[in-house]
Amino acid sequence: MPHIFLYGPPGTGKSTVGQTLAYKLKLPFVDLDRLVEKNAGIPISLIIEQQGELMFRNFETSTLKALADESDSVVALGGGALLREENRSFAESHGSVILLIARLETLLERLNQDPTKRPLLSGDLDEKLSSLLAKRLEHYASFTNQVYIDSNTSDQNALQIQISLGRFHLSAMGEYDAIVWDHGMEQIGELLKSRGLRSPIIVTDENVARLYAEKLMMSFRNTGMDPNLFTIPAGESYKTLEMVNQIWHAFLNAGLDRKSTVIALGGGVIGDIAGFAASTYMRGVSWVGIPTTLLAMVDASLGGKTGFDLAEGKNLVGSFYPPKLVLADTQALKSLPETELISGMAEVVKHGIISDPQLFNLCARGLDWVKGNLEEIVKRAMAVKIKVIEEDPYEKGFRAALNLGHTVGHAVELVSAFRLRHGEAVSIGMVAEARLAERLTVAGKGLSRTIAESLSALGLPLHIPKELPREELIRAMRMDKKKSNGVVRFALPVEIGKVDLFDVADLEMALEEQ
């Protein structure tokens, strides 16, 4: 992966946010100005005073270019480091440049509190900074990847940068990166190699194999690997122990040993079953998730849950077994049937309701907008799921927030004999549960309507089909694993961006339409 360069006017907190970002991504942090000083053996103020600004800029260029030989890191650049075309093209070809921006008042406030000497701003700070910003206005505006840092904490700023880059690192259960990368599948060979992973076997289903297996095989071959491929039929009905058994035997036949890597290429079914096979083969081999459905990108591939179905119910056997890497190539969503995309959007809206009002508002723009902006949608939705599972990896508390819409949703899915897709049932469930929250007065009036409007703009259903018997729905909700002491624990929306857990005894209330 390339470096991450943080750039922008003095006072945007590039060093502070850079350190937070590096910590979150488990990457080294480099402060270019400090490195220049270390290499020169004197402070920048003295370099400028004794040798002039040109000499300082020359030091800056050589220090920057030396990063070509270093492993990926987060680099905080000086406020004018990319004024030189040579530096800019180096940074853009060796990484991603993120421009931090803030209002003049914020910059002044920060600079006044900052004891660091800034030789180019000595004298009347207000006047010097205003004139420097005016001079560099066009230059800063020419960077496309911009993040506003006004009034946010360093943590929030780092998260915004992660979303904008599509780069996350999970560490609560296992240590792995989750990356959103348009056309990233073409880079999978390099990504594996850089992580010391080898001998890949791709497990996929017949639909996905037709579309993407060759691309992956090519990428592996280009890095000198000799990949294997095992294809299974598509669909939930194949997420069985019998299929796990076939996958284990495919591993044996391909000569997989403990150092090999299973590549789960496909939707949630493939991630679950191939991840489970990897977790048990030779007591566990490495695996990498390459989710190709929206649901798998924003939900199933994150959190390390693997497993398969029994005749008695879905996901009854499984393990917590995190992958070594998750790569979401949003190009794959272009071939996804629209019904699958819409179904996946229910989970995206759910993530918006849980903790990202901005994501919720983007979803409310409707399906056409979403289709044109899938990368942004995936990055934001992934960020929410990662935040939740990092706080509660083994589902002891807050992770239950992800059950929003699922208590009614699972019942509707089950009683409809899976005629409704999972996402469709969750959509119906979210509206019903928002109505329940209003009735319990834990949410303000109108929340269910706001949620329903957003789901409807995406083409998702809102109402429990009339033909589904109420008593069966109630029985199904009681049997759901979320029950405790005879009551059912619901994750209910309190407002857009906040979900809480509530125990509910009167389940009729959850099904009332008015």
Ligand X SMILES: NC(=O)c1ccc[n+]([C@@H]2O[C@H](COP(=O)([O-])OP(=O)(O)OC[C@H]3O[C@@H](n4cnc5c(N)ncnc54)[C@H](O)[C@@H]3O)[C@@H](O)[C@H]2O)c1
Minimal distance in Å, beta carbon 171 to ligand X? 18
Task: Indicate the residue among 24 and 421 with the shorter CB distance to ligand X.
Answer: 421
- Nearest CB to ligand X, comparing residues 293 and 416: 293
Residue 303 engages ligand X in binding (rule: CB under 6 A) = yes
The answer to whether residues 176 and 302 touch, using CB atoms and an 8 Å cutoff, is no
Chosen residue from 8, 13, 227, 267 binding ligand X by CB under 6 A: 267
Residue 293 sits in the site that holds ligand X (CB under 6 A): yes
**Residue keyed to tokens 């853009």:** 92
Nearest distance in Å: CB 350, ligand X = 11
Taking CB under 6 A as the binding criterion, the range among 129-137, 184-192, 265-273, 471-479 that sits at the site for ligand X is 265-273
Contact set for ligand X, span 380-399 (CB under 6 A): none
Of the candidate residues 116, 335, 358, 361, the single one contacting ligand X (CB under 6 A): 335
Question: Is residue 296 within the footprint of ligand X (CB under 6 A)?
Answer: yes
Single-letter code of the amino acid located at 211: L
- From residue 463, alpha-carbon distances to 30, 87, 206, 392, 514 in Å are 54, 57, 34, 32, 11
| Tokens linked to 181 | 């990368």
> Can you tell me the distance from the alpha carbon of 196 to that of 26, in angstroms, rounded to the nearest whole number?
16
Nearer to ligand X, 36 or 209 (CB): 209
DSSP state of 84: S
Token duo for residue 459: 């083409």
**Rounded to an integer, what distance in angstroms lies between the CA atom of residue 182 and that of residue 200?**
22
Closer Cβ to ligand X, 253 or 339, answer by number: 339
Residue among 422 and 489 whose Cβ is closer to ligand X: 422
Q: Are 306 and 279 in contact (CB under 8 A)?
A: yes
CB closer to ligand X out of 234 and 501: 234
Report, in Å, the least distance between residue 390 CB and ligand X. Answer: 14
The residue from 269, 362, 378, 436 that contacts ligand X (CB under 6 A) is 269
| Cβ nearer to ligand X, comparing 27 with 384 | 384
Distance in Å, CB of 70 to ligand X, minimum: 35
Binding segment toward ligand X, per CB under 6 A, in 101-109, 157-165, 329-337, 379-387:
329-337
- For residue 27, state whether it binds ligand X (rule: CB under 6 A): no
> What residues have CB less than 8 Å from 26, skipping those under 6 apart?
169, 171, 175
Q: Does 300 bind ligand X (CB under 6 A)?
A: yes
287 contacts 264 by C-beta, under 8 angstroms: yes
Among all residues, whose Cβ is closest to ligand X? 268
Q: How many residues bind ligand X (CB under 6 A)?
A: 28
* Number of residues that make up the chain: 514
Nearer to ligand X, 314 or 365 (CB): 314
DSSP string for 268-307: HHHHHHHHHHHHHGGG--EEEEEE-SHHIIIIITSS-EEE
DSSP state of 42: S
8 A C-beta contact, residue 313 and residue 262: no
Residue 505 Cβ vs ligand X, minimum distance, rounded to whole Å: 28
Catalytic residues: 283, 305, 347, 385, 395, 399, 403, 406, 410, 422
Does 295 engage in binding with ligand X (CB under 6 A)? yes
Between residues 298 and 504, which has the closer beta carbon with respect to ligand X? 298
Contact (CB, 8 A) for 153 and 140 = no
299 contributes a contact to ligand X by CB under 6 A: yes
Q: Which helix (H) or strand (E) holds 229?
A: strand 228-232
Shortest separation between residue 420's beta carbon and ligand X, angstroms? 13
- State the nearest-atom distance from the C-beta of 46 to ligand X, in Å: 56
| Contact letters for ligand X, residues 337-376 (x by CB under 6 A) | ---x------------------------------------
DSSP-based three-state secondary structure for 52: coil
HEC profile for 86-148?
Answer: HHHHHHHHHEEEEEEECCHHHHHHHHHHCCCCCHHHCCCHHHHHHHHHHHHHHHHHCCCCEEE
- Choose which of 315, 319, 373, 450 interacts with ligand X (CB under 6 A): 315
Which residue in the set 336, 345, 400, 437 belongs to the binding site for ligand X (CB under 6 A)? 336
Q: Is 332 in the site for ligand X (CB under 6 A)?
A: yes
180: which residues sit within 8 A by CB, 6+ positions away? Answer: 166, 167, 297, 328, 330, 375, 378, 379, 382
Regarding 31 and contact with ligand X (CB under 6 A), the answer is no
User: Under rule CB under 6 A, which residues in 203-242 are in contact with ligand X?
Assistant: 205, 207-208, 211, 234-236, 239
Contact 414, 476 (CB under 8 A): yes
Give min distance, CB of 391 to ligand X, in A. 16
The whole-angstrom separation of Cα 348 and Cα 351 is: 5
Contact predicate 330/374, CB 8 Å:
yes
Residue from 118, 305, 351, 380 that binds ligand X (CB under 6 A)? Answer: 305
In the complex, minimum distance from the CB of residue 53 to ligand X, in angstroms, rounded to a whole number: 52
Write out the residues near ligand X by the rule CB under 6 A. 205, 207-208, 211, 234-236, 239, 266-270, 272, 292-293, 295-296, 299-300, 303, 305, 314-315, 332, 335-336, 340
